[in-house]
Amino acid sequence: MPAQVVVVGGGVGGTLTANLLSRDLGREVRVTVVDPTGMHAYQPGFLYVALGQASGRWLSRDERELLRGDVDLVVDAAESIDRSAGAVRLESGASLPYDYLVLAPGARLVPEQVPGMSNGDGGPGAHHFYSLDGALRLREAIRRFRGGRVLVGIAGIPYKCPPAPIEFVLLLEEHLRRRGLREKAEITFLSPLNRAFTVEPASKLVQPIMERRGIALETFFNVETVDPSAGTVTSLEGETAEYDLLVLVPPHRGQRAVEESGLGDAGGWLPTDRSTLEVEGCERVFAMGDATNLPISKSGSTAHFEAPVVASRISSMIRGTEPKSSYGGRVMCFLETGDRKATVLRFDYEHPPAPPAPSAIWHTAKWMFNRLYWVTVPQGRIPERAA
Amino acid sequence: MSVIQVDREIDARGMACPGPLMALIGAIREEPVGTVIAVLSSDAGSRTDIPAWTTKARQELLALEDEDGYARFVVRKAR
Amino acid sequence: MSTAVAQTLDVKGLSCPLPIVKTAQAVRNLASGDVIEVLATDPGAVPDFDAWCRTTGNRLVEQTEEAGVYRFLIQKR
């Protein structure tokens, strides 16, 4: 009787884990991926869509095409996890029993938690590029933009892809410059911290670029509320700023199924061991990617490097051997700085990032990754290697 | 080692991005007023960054404890 | 029939994604049909080049390995 592994979520983490388990164990395992849409989105692409640099078309593919043939796919939403029964309850009413459970459901956006931040419907409230429809609306708002004050800020922590808001403001500045609108725009970046970006050496690279390009920096500005009628945004720290075009990173929470199951913390995040990726207090349940409570990057790269660890540990448990693989905190993220240059952040728990000066090489590398993603990452064709 | 009752502890040692201060701000945003949050950081910059934010945001920094290779910041959500 | 090599690119010691990035840049300067020889030590280069050739239509003529050095012969489409 093969072991039953249920993977909740068909994003990069879930897809890769499922494929690695199937490849490693063959008939010894039955893997089922459950995903609400059955479509796999390349989320790093939303930023480019918002700036008119990419079409929504290459951002999404059938999850079925990315999974190995012997992995089952159930297109349904997980409603809750019944740990005593060892089963995932689905919205349709069906139930998926598991011997091992991988929770990779990602994070959900909750812009409604910011008073005045409309749900990205293109009204006078705030825009975002954290979903395809949000990115498309923002794209149209940028197309219509003829001048004024542009504010880019963060309305919730934690959020996916720490570099994204900095990348957005730098790429937007370049975009307006190329359209001949730069003189008419006043651009300000509202940082939650006392510098532009959390990783200090990267901030040191990026701040002079912002200064040269006339992008103002407001520090310690954690967006709390938006007043669309007044065109203002107010921070936790008590400051107010005015805007004509407002782009915010929306607040994020863990998925409802996690909250329904009583497994999540105050933000709905799963308490996870930083090395074994087991969910605390749960036997044979693993968490990965955006859904964990780990104070590490919520990025595709994290899930990409966590997946082999989760798959290897489950394989060992199924075979009855001692799990040896552990996650060392490895992440690799690009940071685009505009004008066809980028830097790269590579780090793990033992080695902090030492980003190089922005160059064309890393911008090319990022775009190659954008294009090769579909035929490499989900299938596990990029092998694991030491940082 | 303090005897302050901590409601939530975040171990951000060795975690450079998004970093201990962001982890603290996130927890402050998620928790109700009165919650006591402890953040462990191995990043030297936290020693200036975290107190600078708690002052600006008018949150209560209850303690800054030096341990072996890291620091422990204890903050109460005041507002 | 021997495949005359138009350029040899030595990326030994470089890790992913640099071998593939530097190859892409070099290939841009070649004529259609030219063959580039790439020498790499990163084992990740094997799936990277395979995927890149499939996506771009450049032809992976040959791929060999000897004593830890991977040799790729790629023909520009």
Closest to A47 in 3D by CA, of A155, A157, A162: A162
Angstrom CA distances, A131 to A48, A75, A138, A165, A249, stand at 12, 20, 10, 14, 11
User: Mean of the per-residue pLDDT values for chain A?
Assistant: 95
Residue A1's pLDDT is: 87
Q: Write the Ramachandran bin of A261: left for phi over 0, alpha for psi from -120 to 50, otherwise beta.
A: alpha
Question: DSSP code of A215?
Answer: -
Residues of chain A contacting residue B44, judged by C-beta atoms under 8 Å apart: none
Sign of CA dihedral C25, C26, C30, C35: negative
- A37-88 confidence digits (pLDDT tens): 999 999 999 999 999 999 988 899 999 999 999 999 999 999 999 999 999 9
Given a contact cutoff of 8 angstroms between Cβ atoms, the answer to whether A288 and A7 are in contact is no
pLDDT of residue A119: 52
Q: Is the pLDDT of residue A120 over 50?
A: no
CB contact under 8 A, B19 and A198: yes
Type of residue at A305: F
Which strands make up the sheet holding B36-41, listed edge to edge? B8-11, B36-41, B71-76, B60-66
Query: What is the reported pLDDT for A253?
Result: 98
Q: How far apart are CA A25 and CA A146, in angstroms?
A: 58
Q: State how far the Cα of A331 lies from the Cα of A32, in Å rounded to an integer.
A: 27
Nearest-by-Cβ selection for A372 from C25, C44, C52 = C52
ipTM of the complex in this document: 0.96
- Can you tell me the distance from the alpha carbon of A231 to that of C61, in angstroms, rounded to the nearest whole number? 60
Closest CA to A173 of A339, A296, A40: A339
- Nearest-CB residue to A295 (from B10, B52, B56): B10
Contact residues, chain B, for A156 at CB < 8 Å: 29
Average pLDDT over chain B, rounded to whole? 96
